[in-house]
A and B are shown apart, each in its own frame.
Chain A
Amino acid sequence: MWQKSPNHRNLSEEEEKKALANAPSLRFRFILAGVLVIGVIAGLAINLIFDYSQKLADLSYDRLLRSALLQMDENVGLMRNEVSIDIPWSAFATLAQAEEDRVFYKVESLEQGFITGYQDLDSQPPQPPVSDQIQFYNQEYSGEMVRFAWVQRHITDPETAQTVRIILGQTRLSREQMASAVTQKAVEVVVFIVLVAITLIIIGSHLVLRPLHRIERALEERAMGDLTPIDINTPKETHHLKVAINHFMARLQTNLEQLENYTADAAHQLRTPLASLRALAENARDISSLGNSPERQHQALENIVNQCDTLSQTVTLLLNQAVVSHRLQTHRLEPIDLLAPITASCREQAVTALHQGVHLSLDCELKETMILGDSFSIQQMMQNLIENAVRYSRADVDQATEVIVQVSEFERFYRIKVIDYGNGIPDIEKERVFERFYRGRYDIAGSGVGLAMVKDIVDHHSARIQILDTEPKGTTFQVDFAKFRFDEGTL
């Protein structure tokens, strides 16, 4: 009666666990995304720190190197036209601040050649030499990477002019130590921040998802059949979920109620004919046992057969109703030609009506009548209406040999009229004919559910049904279906 999962079965606990393990985790994704972003940022930060700490260490120790170089440079002089240098103790005291670093130097004059220091030191700077401009560069010497400062200067006195080069270098031990100390501190801070951030993400993810767990718990803890709305306080973000669940439960409740009604209907429908069948059968048995005439016995059996027909009709009706109900629940309304189900229904009923002495006619000049609807349901509706009209026409001989089905067009809707010339329905009853199991007249066969089903179908199509009196007498059922407009329909 309502849509079910095609392969519905209860999952075992193990299967559920397996499904849970395979299911993507919202929290895991959230944490993963967070950790990835933080990781990338931290990686960039650490990269920057490495670079920066190297620069910082070089900057600091280059100052020492420059200072020492300048002190040496200041003590270069000309003595008897020869360049001489008296390296001040303080120059190397400056360098000794880099406690463990080896020191290499060379002083030479372009004219005079090697003056002092380490003769095999390469005195060519990496950049083109410019006088009085100190250059710093790294170069390997004596098996170690050495930071060199280089300077060149012209010395002149009246008799001679010379170009002096001083190269002073120290190994990079202190620089690396300083850089790694800076890096280590900074990396510690970064790692700490990363850990805090990840912890916050984990806690945050827990907090964010907690309302979901609360809803889950609230649902889990419910008693069987409790379909009342969830009434717990949840944050805005989960409010819609809660509303959706409540909405869903309301629909479920309606469905359940319908099912209950239907079951009650069916039971009711079947009980009366069965009881009557039993009575007829007993009657037939008694007649035969009393030895009455075979005509009466035949008549009694005929009654049983009739009753069986009626029962069969009722079962068919109930089945149809179940099908219609199911369709209404599951099938979307789609654009259809209203005439098709009406014509089909009329054609189907015409012969049956004629058997009962009623002439059924369809009065329609329209070519196309598009509405949003379900063809099968409308056909069922028409069948019920026509059957009803035929049934009540037969009751009286006078004039009531005709049932007319009329379809006409209005500006916004199509109107279907089913007109009979029976006795008509008293005004008091008009309001009750759509009630389930209400039967106008008990002398005429009927189930009492046909019109109720009609009402359901009409409601489902958002159509309108009215019961009017036919002139001079009789009843007219009038149903209005809204026209389908393509511009609306596509929306």
Chain B
Amino acid sequence: MKRMLFCLMLIAGLVGTRSWSAEPVWFGHTNAQRVLLINSAMDLASFAPILKEFVILHPDVRVAYRDVNTLELYYQTIREQKKPQASLVISSAMDLHLKLVNDGYAQTYQSSFTDRLPDNFKWRNQLFAFSLEPIVMLVNKKEFPGELPEDRQTLLQTIRQNEKTMTKRIGTYDIRQSGVGYLLASQDARQADVTWGRLLEAFGSHDVQTYCCTHDIIDDVASGKLVLGYNLLGSYASQRAQEDDRLKMILPKDYTLMLMRAALIPKGAPNAEDAGIFLDFLLSDKAQKMMQTQGLLFPIRPDLNNPNDPYVVNAPGPTGIIELDQQLLVGRDYAKQKRFIRNWEMALEISDED
């Protein structure tokens, strides 16, 4: 455990600290009595309206929002276990969050809102999911050679047929840097081991570009530097695809992974009461509806009255919901993780020294 921790911290240290020392963004009255610090791996664009609404409803609370990378979020929470700064920690790396709970870094919270939450969207009353979004491919319609891919098979074919065009023009997560990237890759490997192997081989032979964060990939796809982003978070992709005509979001037909965003209150967190109130707000019908109508996130219980709503998932194929339970620990097994990253590095022909 310590060795693994050290190992991963080394990686994290090497990768740099893009968001780790970032100053928090403040919401609400400056003279509000209480402060709620949220550490979150979520783009502020998707979250700001919800935070604004919250401080209007609770004027005596001032919210400080700090955007932190998923992997860094994990280490920061462990580092601060003695004296946590954040009242609430939100992440899309479900596996890391579940591991935090399993290893005893979270505290229990229960309210009528959490009780209403279905069992598969919470764990031990310490980890609560508030959104469920698809994992998608995003393509640049103009730049993409040939027909747009429906699934991973057709993507493979396109890569093979258009080797030149595709080289260096596919972007995906660096699983060493991004917690959610690793989770998605490991889930791909679990869902379809052979397809994943071929895809990884194809990525490697065509110099796939690796990124730390979703919006960097989206930016590059939009600009035409990339033709395709693989395994992107549906909420961000959907937002940009709606604004930008050049972009097209594709839900893979063979299977579409479904990812939850989850929140936990660290053990010994300051102002845990307000963290609970905010959590209740996230799970409330009001916030859930805001996510859908304002196109921020995919809510857990979408309003199905509007079938063409882009925030209602209409997957063409089967969906593979990443379950919020102990199985996630397997992906984060020290030996398995080491082996998986080594295989990934070998396939992509990169190493730490690069």
* B294 interfacial by beta-carbon distance below 8 Å: no
Q: Which residues, 76 to 101 on A, are CB-close (under 8 Å) to B? A: 84-89, 91-93, 95-96, 99-101
* A115 interfacial by beta-carbon distance below 8 Å: yes
Known contacts A117-B1, A119-B1; A100/B124 CB under 8 A: yes
Known contacts A89-B330, A103-B102; A119/B2 CB under 8 A: yes
* A192 interfacial by beta-carbon distance below 8 Å: no
Cβ–Cβ contact B326 & A96, under 8 A:
yes
Docked complex Cα distance between A5 and B14 (Å): 111
Q: How far is the CB of B5 from chain A (nearest CB, A)?
A: 9
Nearest B residue to A93, CB-CB: B327
* B142 interfacial by beta-carbon distance below 8 Å: no
* A102 interfacial by beta-carbon distance below 8 Å: yes
Bitwise, B314-328 to A at CB < 8 A (1) or not (0) is: 000000000101110
Cβ–Cβ contact B119 & A84, under 8 A:
no
Q: How far is the CB of A73 from chain B (nearest CB, A)?
A: 14
Q: How far is the CB of A118 from chain B (nearest CB, A)?
A: 5
* A116 interfacial by beta-carbon distance below 8 Å: yes
Bitwise, B300-340 to A at CB < 8 A (1) or not (0) is: 00000000000000000000000101110110011110010
Known contacts A99-B119, A103-B329; A85/B2 CB under 8 A: no
Docked complex Cα distance between A85 and B330 (Å): 11
Known contacts A96-B325, A102-B104, A142-B104; A116/B333 CB under 8 A: yes
* B29 interfacial by beta-carbon distance below 8 Å: no
Docked complex Cα distance between A140 and B336 (Å): 26
* A231 interfacial by beta-carbon distance below 8 Å: no
Known contacts A87-B330, A92-B329, A114-B3; A142/B103 CB under 8 A: yes
Dominant SS among interface residues on chain A: mixed
Cβ–Cβ contact A87 & B104, under 8 A:
no
Q: How far is the CB of B224 from chain A (nearest CB, A)?
A: 39
Docked complex Cα distance between A87 and B331 (Å): 9
Q: Which residues, 45 to 96 on A, are CB-close (under 8 Å) to B? A: 84-89, 91-93, 95-96
Nearest A residue to B333, CB-CB: A87
Known contacts A96-B326, A118-B1, A119-B1; A102/B102 CB under 8 A: yes
* B190 interfacial by beta-carbon distance below 8 Å: yes
Q: Which residues, 79 to 134 on B, are CB-close (under 8 Å) to A? A: 101-104, 119, 123-124
Docked complex Cα distance between A320 and B98 (Å): 111
Cβ–Cβ contact B3 & A119, under 8 A:
yes
Task: Please name all residues of chain A whose beta carbon is closer than 8 Å to the beta carbon of B102 when the two chains form the complex.
Answer: 102-104
Bitwise, A109-121 to B at CB < 8 A (1) or not (0) is: 0000011111110
A107 contact from B2, B103, B335, Cβ within 8 A: B335
Q: Which residues, 176 to 220 on A, are CB-close (under 8 Å) to B? A: none
Q: How far is the CB of A91 from chain B (nearest CB, A)?
A: 7
Nearest B residue to A115, CB-CB: B335
Docked complex Cα distance between A95 and B123 (Å): 14
Dominant SS among interface residues on chain B: helix
Cβ–Cβ contact B335 & A85, under 8 A:
yes
Nearest A residue to B1, CB-CB: A119
* A143 interfacial by beta-carbon distance below 8 Å: yes
Q: How far is the CB of A331 from chain B (nearest CB, A)?
A: 87
Bitwise, A264-308 to B at CB < 8 A (1) or not (0) is: 000000000000000000000000000000000000000000000
Cβ–Cβ contact A86 & B1, under 8 A:
no
Task: Please name all residues of chain B whose beta carbon is closer than 8 Å to the beta carbon of A96 when the two chains form the complex.
Answer: 323, 325-327
Cβ–Cβ contact A100 & B327, under 8 A:
no
Q: How far is the CB of B36 from chain A (nearest CB, A)?
A: 26
Docked complex Cα distance between A171 and B329 (Å): 15
Cβ–Cβ contact B3 & A89, under 8 A:
no
Most buried by A among B102, B104, B326, B333: B326
Q: How far is the CB of B90 from chain A (nearest CB, A)?
A: 21
Docked complex Cα distance between A116 and B103 (Å): 15
Cβ–Cβ contact B104 & A103, under 8 A:
no
Docked complex Cα distance between A115 and B4 (Å): 10
Task: Please name all residues of chain B whose beta carbon is closer than 8 Å to the beta carbon of A119 when the two chains form the complex.
Answer: 1-3
Docked complex Cα distance between A85 and B338 (Å): 11
Cβ–Cβ contact B325 & A117, under 8 A:
no
Q: How far is the CB of A162 from chain B (nearest CB, A)?
A: 15
Cβ–Cβ contact B327 & A89, under 8 A:
yes
Q: How far is the CB of B225 from chain A (nearest CB, A)?
A: 36
Q: How far is the CB of B126 from chain A (nearest CB, A)?
A: 9
Nearest A residue to B331, CB-CB: A89
Task: Please name all residues of chain B whose beta carbon is closer than 8 Å to the beta carbon of A142 when the two chains form the complex.
Answer: 103-104
Docked complex Cα distance between A7 and B333 (Å): 96
Q: How far is the CB of A106 from chain B (nearest CB, A)?
A: 9
Docked complex Cα distance between A92 and B326 (Å): 6
Docked complex Cα distance between A99 and B329 (Å): 14
Docked complex Cα distance between A313 and B325 (Å): 118
Nearest B residue to A107, CB-CB: B335
Nearest A residue to B125, CB-CB: A100
- Pull 21 A–B residue pairs with CB atoms less than 8 Å apart, ordered by A: A86-B339, A87-B330, A87-B333, A87-B335, A89-B330, A91-B330, A92-B326, A95-B326, A99-B123, A102-B101, A102-B103, A103-B329, A107-B335, A114-B3, A116-B335, A117-B334, A118-B1, A120-B2, A142-B103, A143-B104, A173-B124
Seed contacts A91-B330, A103-B102; 20 additional CB < 8 Å A-B pairs: A84-B335, A84-B339, A86-B335, A86-B336, A87-B330, A89-B330, A95-B326, A96-B323, A99-B123, A103-B326, A103-B329, A115-B335, A116-B335, A117-B333, A118-B1, A119-B1, A119-B3, A120-B1, A142-B103, A142-B104
Q: Top 9 A-B pairs ranked by shortest CB distance?
A: A116-B335, A96-B325, A119-B1, A116-B334, A96-B326, A92-B327, A102-B102, A142-B104, A100-B124
